[in-house]
Every structure is written in C-alpha cells, then in structure tokens.
Amino acid sequence: MYDARNAELKLAPVQERPGGWQRWLHQNRGRLAAPVVLLLLILLWAALVAWQQYPPFILPSPALVWRKFLAVAGDGTIWLHVGVTLLEIALGLAVGLSAAFGLGYLLGKHRSLERIASPYIVASQSIPIVAIAPLLVIWMGSGLASKVAVTALITFFPALIATIVGIRNVDADLHDLMRSLRA
C-alpha cells in the first residue's frame, strides 16, 4: 500500500536563469543578427582594401564612401538624384503595370487570344533583363527612356501573370452575382 506521508518529494533541479545582459542577448539575438553581419561585411571590406591595395576608383574604402555620402548629403545633391530615381521608378511602374493589366485582362477573358499570345510571352520572358538592358541603352540612349523601359520590363511579366491568374480564378457565383446586378 502506498503511504503518502513517507513518500519523498522529488523536485526537478532548479536551473538558474541567466543574468541581465545574458537574458537581453538571448531575447534579442534575432534582432542583432543583421547589424552584426553588416558590421562584419564592412570590416571585411576595409580589410580587403587595406590588404589588396586596390586603387580608390576600383574599390574605395568604407571610410571614403562614408565621407562622400556625408558630403553629398550635406550639400543636398543627393536629394536631386533620389528624386530623379523615384521619377524613373514611378514612370516605369506606371508603364509596366498599365500594359500588364490591360493585356492580362484581355488574355484572361479570351482564351483564344491567350493561345495565340502565350508562346510569344513565354519566349520574351525567357530573355534575361540583364541581356536586354544594354541593348535598350544603345537604342534609347542613357536617359530617362531606357531606364523607364527596363523598369517597365521588370514589372510587366509578374503583373501580367498575376492578372491572368486573378481574372481566371474569380468564382463563378461572383460572376453570376455581378451579371444579375448588371454590373
């Protein structure tokens, strides 16, 4: 018979909780990974510049890059270039997405058009943008047009495929509902 009065109480061994900085380090190790890796990459970069003695126009030191960044940030010229870059991005997105949504809607609604256009779309998508970009610069120059064209090409194909899939995956009941509402 079991006698609870004489039974020994066995407790699990008590583990000490880590102290303040150890606990903080344990809790924040995920947040610390990216800055630590960045710092290590910058140190590796600086060591490579010091060890290999590359000319500054090939591989400038991190300190030189930082000084140049502070100079252009201080005199405000960086904001001019940021504005031009944002304009190129916005125009490229507008052109690429407009073309992709328009063509994607037509191809999604009319399967016969998709059967005709699909081989050409697949063939043109198989050419890497890296191969097309220099040709666009030669044909259009190094100005705004070539940069907008490259951005439009980068955004066109994913948006085209997503539009076709989205048009095709609308539930038939929703089609019937919109038809009944004359929408």
**Residue 10 included in any domain:** no
Domain count, the chain: 2
pLDDT at 45: 94
Residue 6 counted as domain residue: no
Q: CA distances (Å), 76 to each of 64, 66, 124, 144, in order?
A: 18, 15, 41, 22
CA distance readout (Å), 52 to 39, 55, 56, 66: 20, 9, 11, 20
Do both 42 and 115 map to the same domain? no
* Same-domain status, 59 and 48: yes
Helices (H), the chain: 20-27, 29-52, 62-75, 77-109, 111-125, 129-140, 144-168, 172-180
Non-local (6+) Cβ contacts of 32 within 8 A are 25
Q: Would residue 14 count as lying in a domain?
A: no
Confidence of residue 10 (pLDDT cuts 50, 70, 90): low
The sign one gets for the Cα dihedral 20, 21, 26, 29 is positive
Under DSSP, is residue 80 helix (H, G, I), strand (E, B) or coil? helix
Q: Which amino acid is at 81?
A: H
**What is the per-residue pLDDT across 84-119, written as a single tens digit (0 to 9) for each?**
999 999 999 999 999 999 999 999 999 999 999 999
Check residue 135 and give its pLDDT.
95
**Has residue 4 been placed in a domain?**
no
This prediction's pTM: 0.67
Please compute the mean of the pLDDT values over residues 136-148 and round it to a whole number: 95
Indicate whether 110 and 162 sit together in one domain. Answer: yes
Mean pLDDT value of segment 112-135 = 92
- Domain region containing 57: 20-75
